[in-house]
Amino acid sequence: MIVSQIKLTLLCLLIIVLCTESTLSRFKRQDLFFPDLRGRGTFGQPCNTYREGAGKCLPLKQCQSLRSFRQSTSCSYYNSVPLVCCPIKKSSQSDASSTNRPVTQSTTRVFRQTASDCGLSETGVGFRIINGQAAGLHAWPWMAAIYDLQFGVVSFRCGGILVNDKYILTAAHCVSDTLGLIPANKFNIRLGELNLNSDSDGARPITFGYNMAIRQPILHDIALMELSQSITRSKAISPICLPTKKHESESFEKTKPTVIGWGKTENRFKIKVLFRTYSDVLRQVPLPVTELEKCKAVYYNVPIGATHLCAGYPQGGKDSCQGDSGGPLMSSDLRDGAHRWMVIGIVSMGLKCAEPGYPGVYTRVTSYIDWINENGIK
């Protein structure tokens, strides 16, 4: 009898594991569910409404003629936001086009960053995450670990990027859900971290609360988090450089920027990923930038455009992955006679991890410099 019960238990566990594998492969890069990008229509595409009329796929909040999700026909999801088939109106076209552009808000706050004190690393520029290398101590002093404090459990959620003494740049989906921004008291931020589960790695991380997050509208995966207090700069904690105006038209193609994070380190499914999907140690990997037109062709159901970068090897094998969301894609830049690191992309999304033919998709930071300048405070 005992043997039979054990066999039945093992069989049930195997079924759960096999079902979970197909789900895990479609996680967003910070472990929110991410639908298959080769599936149904997405933002701005034609669709049929629940009354069989003509419509367009839009976020529910942008569809004035629908009162609830229950009344609508579902299209797909984007950044964890459900898209519904919105009946076509004269305003629908203008809503769709305006949502594709970065939005700036009128504000008197000014973000400043001094070129002489950003982007410096003990690793240096030119240092040669799936199949990536473990980072050294103080190699990336601008890397932030964002922790989720919801449900009474402290758990790693996303990466972030220190861009001055009080602001963290990250992906918008890291600080929001389908209801909007997650309250600030549900997170804390750790700087100067190396190994998430070790106190003997030589790092002396400092934990910060944060006051508020400022994010772009739904289809722009970028947010700023204001720390509860300013940092004290050191070799362990200092900001990365932001791109300048000269980089706005740069494609970055034929370059190999570096991505860093604590994300998942294997694409192969294992039972242990049911309980934990992250790397203990901060990891790094260089990735070639993919031509944008090729990326758009691959992700043909996703509105990829000038506000994105794509990077990855055609054969797969190396990529950012679940848990890397919000972390930086970094390139070198010559400023004041010295090579410095600057952030050119933010880990956003992708199909599984390191899949052949499917590069990772990153928010292009140069598209948001004005927005960062208007919303950041020195």
Nearest residue to 352 via CA among 276, 271, 277, 256: 277
**Quick one: tokens of 205?**
């991380």
From 138, 173, 220, 308, the catalytic residue:
173
* H helix or E strand, kind and range, residue 90: helix 90-99
Residues 6+ apart with CB under 8 A from 101: none
Question: What number of H helices and E strands is found in the chain?
Answer: 4, 21
SS3 34: coil
Q: Which residues of 12-24 are buried (b: 16+ CB within 10 A; e: fewer)?
A: eeeeeeeeeeeeb
Is 173 marked active-site?
A: yes
Return the number of other C-beta atoms located less than 10 Å from residue 81's C-beta. Answer: 18
CA dihedral for 321, 322, 325, 327, sign (positive or negative):
negative
CA distances from 249 to 141, 228, 245, 295, 367 (A): 28, 35, 8, 18, 9
From 121, 325, 331, 367, the catalytic residue:
325
Side-chain-side CA neighbours of 207 within 13 Å: the count stands at 8
From 221, 319, 324, 333, the catalytic residue:
221
Please state, in angstroms and rounded to a whole number, the distance separating the CA atoms of residues 189 and 199. Answer: 17
Is 36 marked active-site?
A: no
Please state, in angstroms and rounded to a whole number, the distance separating the CA atoms of residues 207 and 6. Answer: 45
Is 117 marked active-site?
A: no
Please state, in angstroms and rounded to a whole number, the distance separating the CA atoms of residues 244 and 246. Answer: 5
CA dihedral 264, 267, 271, 275 (to 10 degrees): 20
Please state, in angstroms and rounded to a whole number, the distance separating the CA atoms of residues 101 and 32. Answer: 24
Pairing of β 155-162 and β 133-134: unpaired
Please state, in angstroms and rounded to a whole number, the distance separating the CA atoms of residues 202 and 32. Answer: 32
**Quick one: tokens of 289?**
């930038």
CA dihedral 210, 211, 217, 221 (to 10 degrees): -10
- Mind telling me the catalytic residues? 173, 221, 325
